[in-house]
Amino acid sequence: GFEGQVISVEPGKSACYRCIFGSADVDYMENQTLNRRIFGVLGPICGVIGSIEAIEVIKGLISYGEKLVNKLFMIDLESMKSILIKLSQNENCICFKAKINENPNIKT
């Protein structure tokens, strides 16, 4: 499709992918993978989403501006419409309990 989404995750401080979407549905993921194999992925859409993600990284590295922490940015490049959705951590998710200094599985 023509859609893309971007979030910035700060472990232990923000919602993560699992907080938002839950565990992966294997059947759904296999279907999406098959669709992409059949129809392909449009390079310009990947380029736009990748550019937004790159800006997020740069903002984090130089501590500039407001990142998409606890926000989901969704864009439809066919209609050129976008939406920004506020998020919150799921208290049952591992990311909610993760603290960078307390969790040996999180490397900085």
Q: For the segment 26-38, what is each residue's pLDDT rounded down to a tens digit?
A: 676 676 666 666 6
Within 10 angstroms of residue 14's Cβ, the number of other Cβ atoms is 20
Per-residue pLDDT averaged across 89-108, rounded? Answer: 64
Looking at residue 106, its pLDDT comes to 52
Burial class (CB in 10 A: 0-12, 13-18, 19+), 18: middle
Q: For the segment 40-59, what is each residue's pLDDT rounded down to a tens digit?
A: 778 899 999 999 999 999 99
Amino acid symbol at 39: F
Per-residue pLDDT averaged across 73-101, rounded? Answer: 83
pTM of the model: 0.73
Q: What is the rounded CA–CA span in Å between residue 66 and residue 17?
A: 19
Architecture of domain 3-97: 3-Layer(aba) Sandwich (3.40)
Domain ranges of the chain: 3-97
